[in-house]
Structure 1
Amino acid sequence: MPPSRRRRVLLTAAALLGVTVFALLLWQGPWWLDGGHLRQHDLQPADGAVITGFRTTLVALGAGVVAVLGLYYTHKGHQHTQALFRATVEEQVTGRYVEAVKLLGSDSAHQRIGGVFGLERIMRDSVRDHSTVVEVLAAFIRGRSLADDSDRPHLPRRAAEDLQAALTVLGRRPVHADEPRIDLRHTRLAFARLQQARLHRADFEAADLQGADLTRTDLTEADFEHTDLRGANLTGADLTGAKLAGADLTGAWGLTAPQLLTARVYADTVLPPELASDPRIQAARRPPA
């Protein structure tokens, strides 16, 4: 016999036994407990008072037990309903996730963009899937824009729309305590629009960020080792703790000495001439990483 059926049989038997015992107590209980003082026949008012008091108390106790059992089973039913609801929601999220990932592999840029924003919706709806979505979007960007050593004399003046969509979503993702580091190493993101993005601890090692708009972007503790930042707009960007070993910031816009003094500047960090000659920057330079 299956465990669930055995449990139902035992519960039914226990319920029938309980009802039988209750009925017997209600019928014969007064005589079982006080048979020496109660008459079997020709009951007197005093006997009736004892019997009525006993039965009233027993009925009240029975009602209390029924109420407690009712609350217990109502609570269990609510828990079961909640579990079913969570399972349904998770199943729906899983289905949406699978469909969104399929769209990322589409040949159509419009469908890829749809997949990106579908993943953003999942990231906002499901805390459990936050880290996974961040990693998937970062992998999508890497796969679509892996940097290489080929000669590219004519760079596009803007990032591809699907890449830009993925970058935008990553830059405005909800705050999450255990989110992974965004891995964008060796990516080609020239002229990407990343203004006011939240890219704390992002890894841009050896990435191409020429002409990128990083205005007021959170780049705290980001890794820009050997990153091409020529002509990037860094106006108001927070570079606190950012690693700039081997980074090329030639012609960077809006870059100031106070910004650089909060970052980790190395001897091989290429800076605009007016900043490279600043005594404070020279004193803050570290040996090559």
Structure 2
Amino acid sequence: MTEVNLHVENKNHLRWRWFGACAFVAASIAAIWLLPEALVNWSTRAIVDPLKPLSSAEFVKAVTDARQGVLFSVGGCIAIFTLLISLSKHNLDRRSQELDRERQELDRDANRTNRYTEAVKQLGAESSPSIRLGGIYALERIAQDSPRDRQTILDVLCAFARERSSVAKMVGANAVLVTDVAAAVTVFGRRKFLDSNQVSFDLSRTYLGGIRLSNACLAYTNFGFSNLAEAQLDHANLTRVTLLNANLVRANLFSASLRSANLIRANFTLAGLSAADLSQADLSEGILDMAHLGDAKLPQATLSMATLKGATLTGADMTEASLNGADLTGARLNGAILVGADLSNANFMKANLAGAVLEGAIVRDDLGLVKLVTHDYLESVGAQGLDTVRGLPVK
């Protein structure tokens, strides 16, 4: 209903209200003055003995009593009429308020649309990085204000980052992270205004080398084939991210959460993963040479065919992890927990297992038969520090 229609309806209601009130007053006066006497006359003829008519005093008293009854009835009608008027006014006020809210929402939508259009235009300002930055932060503010526009805005920022900083363009001397791309990724890395973390963002094949995203919320993001070399991702939430074939050489992921992440063939050479949570992560064929994984959590992680040459895994929890075919040449596994881990075909040449716990660790032979890992087996594959290994079967 438009404001004009509501105004016309209000006038019609008011006109009928006055007409009804005047008619009711006229009818009430007539009823109070004429009706009591008529009622008394009718009742006298119907009930009173004709041989004994009412005296004047009795007649006056009867009329007075009848008039009092009519007054009470009229008062009740007035109360009901007043209630109906109040209800009608309440409904009109409520509809007026609804119209005001609708008008305000339309105004807000128009304002957001204008702000969004202007911000997107700013993103396309090729000659001015500062204007592009203004557009990025304007979009962030709109996303904070408008829940229904958040996904669209964040998708726009992802597309902006992929286009301006694709790994195909960032080669050699051109491989420099630009400020506006870093700002765009940082915006949805904050993500405090999202209702849920379970929103996937596509930053695949994007150059983000050296980006600073400490404590960022990047869960479920697709970084497949992206370059995150030397990125600062300490304490970041990277739960269920996709880092397929991603470059994380020398990246800092201290105490980051990579639970159930897809890290297949990702390159973590010299990366810092100390105290990181890689529970149930898939690191198949990953490169973790010289990586620091001290006190990292890797229970039920998959490291099949991964290379961990010279990696530091001191105190790492690798309970029930799969190391089938992994290369741990020269790795430091001092105090690591490998309870129930699958070490089939793993290369432990010169790996230090001093103080490690291997209770229930297994290997599978060529026929697929499962056997417990023994001291002799570890010795045969070149492992060192076996005198203090715990949990091995007694010879």
The CA distance in 1 between the partners of 2:322 and 2:169, in whole Å, is 31
Query: Is 1:102 aligned to 2:121, yes or no?
Result: yes
C-alpha change, 1:33 and 1:235, in structure 2 (3 Å) is: farther
Following superposition, the deviation at residue 14 of structure 1 comes to 5.8
Aligned to 1:121: 141
Give 1:273 shift: 4.1
- Mind listing any 5+ residue stretches in structure 2 that lack a counterpart? 43-58, 294-307, 326-395
Matching residue of 1:152: 172
Structure with more of its chain in helix, by fraction: 1
| Residue correspondence of structure 1 range 1-289 to structure 2 within 5 A | 8=9, 15=17, 18-19=20-21, 22-23=24-25, 25-29=27-31, 37-38=39-40, 44-107=63-126, 108-148=128-168, 151-152=171-172, 155-156=175-176, 159-173=177-191, 174-177=193-196, 180-253=199-272, 255-256=273-274, 259-266=277-284, 268-273=285-290, 276=308, 280=318, 283-285=321-323
1:139: how far off? Answer: 0.9
Q: Could you tell me which amino acid in structure 2 is paired with residue 160 of structure 1?
A: V
CA–CA distance in structure 2, aligned partners of residues 196 and 178 of structure 1 = 14
Please list the CA deviations of residues 72-125 of structure 1 after superposition, one character each: whole Å capped at 9, or x if unmatched. 111111111111111111111111111111100012100000000001111111
3-state SS of the aligned residue for 2:225? Answer: coil
Q: Structure 2 counterpart of 1:163, which letter?
A: V
User: 2:283 aligns to what SS in structure 1?
Assistant: coil
Contact 1:134/1:180, CA 8 A, preserved across alignment: no
TM-score with structure 2 setting the length: 0.62
Deviation at 1:231, TM superposition (A): 1.1
Q: Hey, what's the Cα distance between the residues in 2 that align with 1:233 and 1:202?
A: 18
Residue aligning to 2:346:
none
Task: Summarize deviations over 1:142-170 as a string: whole Å, max 9, x none.
Answer: 111111187526743xx211011111111
Distance of 1:33 and 1:202 partners within structure 2: 85
Give me the TM-score of the superposition, normalised by structure 1: 0.83
Q: Partners in 2 of 1:230 and 1:208 — Cα distance?
A: 9
The corresponding residue for 2:389 is: none
| Deviations 1:166-189, CA, capped at 9 Å, x for gaps | 111111122323864110010011
Give the CA RMSD over aligned residues.
3.4
For 1:198 and 1:178, locate their aligned partners in 2 and report how far apart those are by CA, in whole Å. Answer: 8
**Aligned residue pair count:** 280
- Does the residue aligned with 1:270 lie in a helix, a strand or coil? coil
- Structure number with greater CO (CA < 8 Å, separation at least 6) is 1
Query: Aligned residues: percent identity?
Result: 27
- Distance change (3 Å), C-alpha of 1:258 and 1:50: closer
- One-letter amino acid of the counterpart of residue 50, structure 1: G
> For the residues of structure 2 that align with 1:206 and 1:67, how far apart are their CA atoms?
68
How big is each residue's C-alpha offset from its partner over 1:28-68, in whole Å with a ceiling of 9 and x where there is no partner?
Answer: 4569987851569x974224312322222222111111111
* Bigger-Rg structure (1/2): 2
Cα pair distance change 1:281/1:204, threshold 3 Å = farther
